[in-house]
Structure 1
C-alpha cells in the first residue's frame, strides 16, 4: 500500500517531456499524507488535487468517502473507482519515494522505498475533477508486491518509468490494465528511516535518510 510519500523530487527539470507544466507553486514535502494537497499529472497537464479520491456520486464535501489507495484488481468493480476508471481518468503522481512500515521484534519500523538510480517514481493513479463537492482528488493504485519489495509488505503502489507513464495516458483501459500487471524489474530498494515520519507535521529532509533500525539497536545488530 502507500499511505505516506515524499514528493520533494529534485530531478523534475530532467523530466520535462513528462512533467512539462509542473506547477512551480505546488507545495512539496518529505511526508505527504492523505487529505493533503499534492501535484499530479493528468492527460490535460499538471494539477494540484487532494489525496483521497472522492467518488463521482458523492454529494457532500465530507472526506468520509475518500479513499487514498485503490486496489488494481477491483478498479472496474468498486463503486468508489468505477467511474474514474471507466472514463479513463488516469493520472501520474510523481514522488521521490514512499514509506512503508514493518513489524520487527515488537517494533513497527518505518522504511523508505526509492529507485536505485535516484530518478523520480511515477505512481499510477485515478482522479476526479473538481465540482461543487470535490476540490479535485486522486488515489494511488496498489497491486500485490513483487520482486525486491515483496518482503516489505504484501502490497505496493503501481509504479512506472518514463515510457510506461506515457502509455498509461495513451492506452485504452484494457491496454492500461495489462501494463499495470507488468513484471517489476529490480530497480527499487528500501532502508530503515526515523520513525519521526509517523508524525505528519514532521517534513524535513532527514526523514528520508537511512538509519540503523530500532529493532537492530535493541538486539545489537550492526547497520
Structure 2
C-alpha cells in the first residue's frame, strides 16, 4: 500500500536515461498525498499529474471512490483501471521513498521505506490523459509484500530498477505483467519516523529522519 510518499528532484536529475525531460515546475516534496499534483514519467516524457486516477467516465475531481492505489492482481478486472492497463497507459512515479503505518499499542507509528543505496525508487503506475474538465491523473500499483518489507504491511508498491523502467512503459501487456510479478531484490529498508508526516501540510527533511520507535514492528500487521 502507498498512501503518502516523498520525492527528491535533486536525486532524479542525474537519471537522464529515464528522466531526460524532468519537469521544471515539479516541486520537491517530502509529503505527497492523494489528490496532489506530482511528476510522473510516461513513454511520451515527463509530466505533472494528479495522484488519484480519474477514469474516462469521471468529469470531476471530486470522486466518491479511492483510486490512488491499484492492485496488480485485478488491473484487468476493475473498471477504474482496466482501460489504462489494457491500452498500455503505464507510467513510472519517481520517489525518494514512501510512508507506511502500523498500529502499535494505542497509536499508529509511521515508517519510511527507501532504498538501501539511497537511489530513487521507481513506482509502477497507470495514468489517464488530461481531458476538458479534468487534469491528467495517475495511480500507483500495489502487489503483495515480500522479503524485508513483508513485516511492515501486507501490500507494497510495485517498484522497478532503472534498467526495467523502459520495458514497463513500452512493453506489451504480457511483458509488463511478467515484469511486475518478478521477485524483489533485498535493496529496500524501512525505519520509524516522526508522526508529523500525518499532517499533509508538514514538510522538511525531518519527516524522513529515523527515530527510535516505542514498539518494534510486528509480523503481519497492516491496516
The alignment's TM-score, normalised by the length of structure 1, stands at 0.94
2:10 is aligned to 10
1:6-31 residue CA offsets vs partner (Å, 9 max, x unmatched): 01243223201100000122112000
Instruction: Write the distance in 1 (CA, Å) between the matches of 2:16 and 2:45.
Output: 12
Offset of residue 132 of structure 1:
1.5
- Gap runs ≥5 in structure 2: 217-223
Structure 1 segments, 4+ long, off by >3 Å, are none
Question: Following TM superposition, by how much is the alpha carbon of 1:107 offset from its aligned partner in structure 2, in angstroms?
Answer: 2.3
CA contact (8 A) 1:6 1:97 kept: yes
1:200 maps to 200
- 1:27 and 1:66 map into 2 onto residues whose CA distance is 24
Give the superposition deviation at 1:74.
0.5
| Equivalent in the alignment of 1:221 | none
**Alpha-carbon distance in structure 2 between the residues aligned to 1:146 and 1:215:** 22
Q: Deviations over 1:76-114 (max 9, x none)?
A: 100000110111000000000000001123321000000
**TM-score, normalization: structure 2?**
0.94
Query: CA RMSD, aligned part only?
Result: 1.2
Contact kept in structure 1, 2:9 and 2:27, CA below 8 Å: no
> Any conservation in 2 of the 1:192–1:212 contact (CA below 8 Å)?
yes
1:63 partner SS:
coil
Which residue is 1:136 aligned to?
A: 136
Aligned length, in residue pairs: 216
Q: What SS does structure 2 have at the residue aligned with 1:62?
A: coil
Greater mean alpha carbon deviation, residues 115-124 or residues 59-68: 59-68
1: distance between equivalents of 2:131 and 2:66? 15
In 2, Cα distance between equivalents of 1:183 and 1:77: 23
Unmatched tracts of structure 1, length 5 or more: 217-223
SS, match of residue 139 in structure 1: strand
